[in-house]
Amino acid sequence: MGSGSRPGTPGGTKAEATITKISSPSQLSIGCKAFFEKDSEIRQAEVLSIRDKAMRQNIQRTADDAPLDNSESKLEYEFYVHYLEFNKRLDEWVPDSRTRLDKPVTFPKKKNKAAHGGGQQTARDKKRKTNTGGSVATGTAPQTPEPVRHDDSAYTAPREVFSKEKEIEKLRTSGSMTQSTSEVARMKNLNLMEMGQFQIEPWYFSPYPIEYAYTPVLYICEFCLCYYANKTQYTRHRTKCTLQHPPGNEIYRKDDLSFFEIDGRRQRTYCRNLCLLSKCFLDHKTLYYDVDPFLFYILTQRDERGCHIIGYFSKEKESAENYNLACILTLPQYQRMGFGRVLMQFSYELSKAEGKVGSPEKPLSDLGLLSYRTFWSEMLVDLLVGYDGEISIDDLSQLTCFTVQDIMHALFSLDAIRYYHGQHCIVLSERVMEAHERFAKKKLRKVDSSCLKWTPKVFTQAELRYLQ
């Protein structure tokens, strides 16, 4: 069959991608790339799913489903699309009326079953050295030592071509809570969440049970994080829920901010609900069912009704690499208020109390690397400006509890390492000093170490037996 044949129909074993024009939106299929109207612009998008607009019933979920039946001309369709070169949080359902029929459509090339069927994944992704699940997916560490690098490649995961089969296999073999593997990391399954006085639009897919997904609004208790599909159930729960703060120990309080420490083994339900909630806003987070190996630190804001969750970070109880943070999230309604910086600073205050240096778990996402690089740079410049005398990288590490590698990465990003009279020196340029002056004028939220009432946890062998 020629290259103009419709994708999904029987034909040759190999075909190139087809670019053609269509006369009706019903000719679109899963995987094709068409043009749609978005905010008074015309954007190209990939079709991920198709459903009947009236019945809200999915007609096509995968590219292997049968093509749409053109005989039902009265049907109106909705397409779940991902806008190319835009973040996945902008993915949405669009009506067929927003399809631009005057633009060409690119249909995917047909898979070669003979070549595709023989290759099976023979090795699983490397798990943590502790051989446990966790509340965050970060990449795998290299198996052989490599030279220390201070560029972004040492902190971020390597770029890989998206493979749905590998993604599903990775989640399946890592103990994920995901139930519908055909939807993994591709489509948002929640339309709107109501949490306290806020209504929040989720950004990404989160594997809530199927009976709670695809509802108009998902109601979440802001104190216990239990979720309900309708308002009546949620209202009844609120009359019975006695929690007014996260179910853990309050280890920090200053003004209206508090931190609570929660053991994932003692409060499994709360921590699992927290992971489900955070997955709605973290694209690259692999959700694990086993939260036992983790401690969760919840940042809250207190008022007359209780302590309302702002964000959190988690850390491993036992980390061979001395990671002091595994996953971090500030809820959307509290973003751009300086709370992310508070979470990062608090993780290092815990490292200081433990008497050891720490670092966030690698690899970092692009946004995570940018946030941490800014935090490291600002803290180091602030320390160097107020320091009188000579100071070494090791001294900076002891004072800040940053690792030497993180300090070097931040200084290189500032272009502050210079070679002078036979030795390396730290030189702060005028641009860096001007940025520091602007930073000093800001009224930023800071963690007061004197308000931290915390003793480092010491776990017995019995408490860590799941790590073996």
Among the listed residues 191, 305, 296, the one whose alpha carbon sits nearest the alpha carbon of residue 238? 305
Helix (H, G, I), strand (E, B) or coil at 359: strand
Within 10 angstroms of residue 344's Cβ, the number of other Cβ atoms is 22
User: Rounded CA gap, 400 and 351, in Å?
Assistant: 9
CA 154, 156, 161, 163 torsion-angle sign: positive
Q: Where are the beta strands (DSSP E) in 53-195?
A: 57-60, 77-83, 92-95, 105-107, 193-195
Catalytic residue among 261, 361, 390, 430: 361
CA 14, 15, 17, 21 torsion-angle sign: negative
Parallel, antiparallel or unpaired: strands 249-254 and 323-325: unpaired
DSSP 12-59: -S----EEE--SSGGG--TT-EEEEEETTEEEEEEEEEEEETTTTEEE
User: Rounded CA gap, 234 and 220, in Å?
Assistant: 8
What are the tokens at 19?
Answer: 């670019």
378 is annotated as an active-site residue: no
User: Rounded CA gap, 325 and 359, in Å?
Assistant: 7
DSSP secondary structure letter of residue 213:
T
What are the tokens at 370?
Answer: 């940018």
Give residue 58's Cα distance to chain centre. 27
What are the tokens at 29?
Answer: 């299929």
* Catalytic residue set: 361
